Structure 1
Amino acid sequence: MSSTRFQPGQSGNPKGRPRKHRRPNVSAFEIILDKTLTITQNGKAREATVEEALQQQTLKDALAGKRLAIRKLLKMIEKRERALEQKNPEPCRKIELKHHYSADNADEALRILGIAEPEPAFPTRWKVHAWATQAALSRPGRKKLDRREADNIRFFSFDPDSLKWPRSRVE
C-alpha cells in the first residue's frame, strides 16, 4: 500500500476555505468626506474635513445670497434640528387645565352672537332663533330625529313654522 499524506476520507483542509474579509459598505463619497484638508479661515490655517470645508463654503455662498446655497443651508439646519430632537427629546410637561363654567356666561354669549334670547312671555326660558336652528338641522351626517326630538326643536325655536326640515331626518 502506498503511503499518502492524508488518510482515505480525510480532507486536506479540515477548516475549509478561509472566508474573505468583507469591507464595510462605504461609498467613495463618504471616504472622501472623511479626508482632511488645510483651510485658511480668518487668516489662520487649520485642519478640517472635506465635509466641514464644504459646509463652510455653502455658508459663505448662502451669505452672499446664492439661492441654491441658501436652500442647502436650510436643509442642513433642518437635519441638525431633527437629530438634536431625537437625541434630546423635550420632556413632556403636564399642564393642568381648570375649567370654569357659568350658565350666565353661556347665555350672554348666545345673546351677543344673536343665536338665542329669552322668550318674552317667559324670561327664564330661552329660545333659539330660526336661522341657528336651520343651520343645525341642515348639517350633513346628522342622525335621524324621532318625533319627540322634533317637537322639542319646534318648541325651543322662534318661528318654528319657517323651518325647512331635511328629507328623511324626522322619523
Structure 2
Amino acid sequence: MTDKPTRGKPPVSGRFRKGQSGNLKGRPKSKVATPTSSAIEVILDKTLIVNRNGKPREISVEEALQQHTLQQALEGNRSAQREVLKWIIRRDKYHAAENQRNSPNAVTVRYSYCPDNANEALLLLKVAAPNPKYEDNDKAIEHLLLEPWAVQAALTRRRGGKKLDKKEVEAIRQCIHDPDSLRWPKGALE
C-alpha cells in the first residue's frame, strides 16, 4: 500500500489503528432538536368546538375526522365504508380479547332431563294442577290435569288439519280439570 491519499480516504499513515479512535469525546451531539411527534400527531391533539343540535361541544380533531368519515360512509363513499368496517373489526377484536382476559373460570353446567322438571314448570306457570283424585297419594304430582284456559288456547290456535274424532275429544276431556267449561271451535268436531 502506498501512502498516497485515495479518493475519500486519508493516507494510510494518517489512519488510526484498529480499535483506537482519534476523537476521545466521541461524536458531537447535534445542535438541532429532533421533533418528538409528527405534524399530524400535533394536529390530532388539538380540539375543536362543534355545534350539534344548536349546542356547542368540544371534540378532538381525531373525533371530528371519525365523524366526517362515518358521515361519508353513510352517504355511500366506498373507501369511507371500508374504513368504518376496519374500525368495527378492530373494536370487536379488542372486546374479544378483553372478554377472554376478564372471563371467569369455565363453569360446567349439567342438565338432567326428568319428567318431574316439566311437571314443576307446568305447576309454576299454572298451566296444570294436581289431580284431586290423587291428593292423598304421594304421586299427586305425577297425575296433573291441564287448566281449561291452556287447552282452550291450544284449540283456538288449531288451524287446518282434520277434525277431531270422538276418541280424541274424550282424551282431551280426561286431561282437563273442568272439561265442561271448554268451548269447542266450529268445525273441530266430526
Give TM-score, length-normalised by structure 1: 0.48
User: Which entry has the higher C-alpha Rg, 1 or 2?
Assistant: 2
Give TM-score, length-normalised by structure 2: 0.44
